[in-house]
Structure 1
Amino acid sequence: MTVRALYLCEGSSDMGLRLHIEEIAADEGKEILVTSPDFDRLRYPVGHSVADKLRAARKLNDKGSDYDLVVIHRDSDDGPPERRRREIAAAVSAAWPGLTHVPVIPVRMLEAWLLLDTAAIREVAGNPNGRVALGLPKPARAEAVADPKHLLKEAIAKASEEKGRDLRKLQNRFSENRRRLLQMLDRQGPVSQLASWKAFDAELREALKSY
């Protein structure tokens, strides 16, 4: 059977995680169809809460067929990951009771996952052969960085070795480059050492065992 998965994320630059959901399913020998709804199709604004997005996704489910599971990304921000876990579980219970859910909860924010691949950062910066030091953390410290988004922006700028107008152009493409970095993320690389990634990977594999 084909597992029908719904993927809800915080922003369009998080869509790169779809690829990893598909690859993890393939690892498990599962065929999966991942849908990330375009809420702009609705004639009214959709709220930012998980429950709001789940209700909107149900309305966009044109064929009337339910999903088998939903993968929900929420950064932990300044709070403990367990708070987000409870928030996600409560939202699913309220908006789509009985739907299997898999939380994706990077510590602080997803950018912490993207700080670990120097080669990928140099690639998206347009300077793959660069050698300038980027000041990136070791895996054990990545999720302790206070503002990983800011550090990632700085790292891409340093890696590019650009200045002036060219640097500003690069910085204006941060969302696009962030999306590329997420797609390029090596699941077997340093990110595999992070507790938040391990939890996502393990919980998705466990959920897929039911299909």
Structure 2
Amino acid sequence: MTDVTFALIREGTSDDGLVAHLRTLIINAGASSVVGAPREYKGTTKERISEVLAEQTKVDLIFVHRDADSSDPEPRYEEIRDAASALGCSDQVVPVVPVQELEAWLLADLSQIRSVSGRPRGKTPLGIPSVKKIESTKSPKEILQNACLIASETTGARRKKQAKQFTQHRTTLLERLDHDGPVRNLPSWQRFVDDVTSKIAELCS
């Protein structure tokens, strides 16, 4: 069994919910214990990885979250791989690359969107593409924001109040992301889970 420590380089504080999912995936992959936290470093991907490497307390893994910002994740993977290679730490770095945006992972579970919006039994169509089309659809954040509004089934002043709660709704959706739910059908999620699993297998061998 292996004790694992990690750092998460994320795009913003709203993505801190990824930490809990990383801990779960690492344990599920065979680690005996895991400790990890996000980092506040700024700059290029290479500069931020370098900051983690310079820390006094070393970590086993460095997860780098970068949204693909398109339907093709390969440029982001290449960016992360090149940075890690240049710093000589390819064995430590694990990319976390949602296709389009992180919100694409949250769009997959309609029941959770209805739940956080206060209408768990709602039936109103939410305008969300099918799971097969989510990663080829632009602006998942905007789609998610609109879906939360529709799901609330509110009007007037209540609807305006609901719109202001999107940040909290997104945070809750990320916290509740079900690894065994609809998100498992998204290729970018599958690749993320596979990468974590294989990296932990390497550490445990």
TM-score of the pair, normalised by structure 1: 0.87
Deviations 1:104-149 (A, max 9, x none): 1111111111111111101211222322121222211111112111
CA contact under 8 A between 1:3 and 1:33: conserved in structure 2? yes
Give the whole-Å Cα distance in 1 for the aligned partners of 2:157 and 2:48: 38
Give the whole-Å Cα distance in 2 for the aligned partners of 1:196 and 1:119: 21
Classify 1:53/1:172 alpha carbon distance in 2 versus 1 (closer, same or farther; 3 Å).
farther
CA contact under 8 A between 2:30 and 2:200: conserved in structure 1? no
Give the whole-Å Cα distance in 2 for the aligned partners of 1:162 and 1:51: 45
SS in 2 for 1:157: helix
Q: Percent identity?
A: 34
Q: Any gaps of 5 or more consecutive residues in structure 1? A: 40-45
Give 1:84's aligned amino acid: R
Offset at 1:175? 2.2
Give 1:19's aligned amino acid: A
1:124 aligned to which of 116, 123, 129: 116
**What root-mean-square deviation, in Å, do the aligned CA atoms of Structure 1 and Structure 2 show?**
1.8
Q: May I ask how many residue pairs the two structures share in their alignment?
A: 201
Aligned ranges 1:57-136 → 2 under 5 Å: 57-58=52-53, 61=55, 64-78=56-70, 80-95=72-87, 97-98=89-90, 100-136=92-128
SS in 1 for 2:123: coil
1:208 equivalenced with 2:200 (yes/no)? yes
Give 1:74's aligned amino acid: R
Q: Any gaps of 5 or more consecutive residues in structure 2? A: none
Give the whole-Å Cα distance in 1 for the aligned partners of 2:169 and 2:52: 27
1:188 aligned to which of 171, 180, 204: 180
Classify 1:95/1:170 alpha carbon distance in 2 versus 1 (closer, same or farther; 3 Å).
farther
Classify 1:145/1:102 alpha carbon distance in 2 versus 1 (closer, same or farther; 3 Å).
same
The equivalent of 2:34 in structure 1 is 32
Offset at 1:58? 4.4
1:144 aligned to which of 133, 136, 148: 136
Classify 1:155/1:54 alpha carbon distance in 2 versus 1 (closer, same or farther; 3 Å).
same
1:55 equivalenced with 2:50 (yes/no)? yes
Give the whole-Å Cα distance in 2 for the aligned partners of 1:93 and 1:169: 47
The equivalent of 2:23 in structure 1 is 22
Classify 1:120/1:8 alpha carbon distance in 2 versus 1 (closer, same or farther; 3 Å).
same
Give 1:24's aligned amino acid: L
Offset at 1:151? 0.7
TM-score of the pair, normalised by structure 2: 0.89
Give the whole-Å Cα distance in 1 for the aligned partners of 2:95 and 2:59: 16
Give the whole-Å Cα distance in 2 for the aligned partners of 1:137 and 1:98: 36
Give the whole-Å Cα distance in 2 for the aligned partners of 1:79 and 1:156: 23
Give 1:14's aligned amino acid: D
SS in 1 for 2:154: coil
SS in 1 for 2:36: strand
